[in-house]
Amino acid sequence: MTTEPIAFWFLAIVLVGSALAVVLSKNLFHAVLWLALALTGTAGVFLLLDAEFLAAVQLLLYAGGIITIVVFAIVVTERLVGERLTQTNMRIGGGALVSAVLLGFIVVVLGKHPLAATRPEMPGDLTRAIGQAVLTRYVLPFELLAVLMLAGMLGAIYFARPED
């Protein structure tokens, strides 16, 4: 367990750095690529928290799926070179102030409350436990989720249909 802090700080630096690059990058296409790095770093954090299944889901759905969709959306709506891609920020001071105040608030609240310092042993295989929970106790939300995703897919196809 001595490698955990090193891995955590490495991942934290990667995650925060790439997240900053996502919001500050002038080129939107570069921002998407930085987002891919941030999502992969999150998968690493999940691995650090012993959630291998979630790390795999994260890589497949987020880093694979969302990045592809966003790249397609940029290609459809923007030119990849030229002046239009520069995302000049209008209210950068206000946004920074709001974010900093919220962050300070969260850190103060976290500092005031005692939190678990050690992690308890997880009983058995985590992936198996997730699968069993999804298909027994949480089977109704799981099926509703399928309906939601179908509705979302139909909605996206309806929006993107060719014009008559």
Partner 1 sequence: MGLQPYLILSAVVFCIGLFGVTTRRNMIGILLGIELMMNAVNINLVAFARYTAQVTGMVFTVFTICITVTEAALGLAIVILLFRVRRTVMADHLDLLKG
| H/E stretch holding 119 | none
Q: 42: which 2 tokens?
A: 């999150």
* Contact pattern from residue 54 through residue 93 relative to partner 1, giving x for each residue in contact according to CB under 8 A and a dash for the rest: x--xx--xx--xx--xx-xxx-xxx--------xxxxxx-
Q: Using the 8-state DSSP alphabet, how is residue 162 labeled?
A: P
Judged by CB under 8 A, does residue 159 bind partner 1?
yes
Nearer to partner 1 among residue 81 and residue 91 (C-beta): 91
Q: DSSP string of 15-73?
A: HHHHHHHHHH-SSHHHHHHHHHHHHHHHHHHHHHTT-HHHHHHIIIIIIIIIHHHHHHH
Q: Please list every residue from 116 through 135 that binds partner 1, using CB under 8 A.
A: 116-123, 126, 129-130, 133-134
Please give the size of the binding site for partner 1, defined by CB under 8 A.
82
Q: Tell me how far, at minimum, the Cβ of 149 lies from partner 1, in Å.
A: 5
Measured between alpha carbons, how far is 130 from 116 in angstroms, rounded to an integer? 22
Question: Which of 82, 110, 112, 164 lies at the binding interface for partner 1 (CB under 8 A)?
Answer: 110
| H/E stretch holding 122 | none
Q: Tell me how far, at minimum, the Cβ of 137 lies from partner 1, in Å.
A: 8
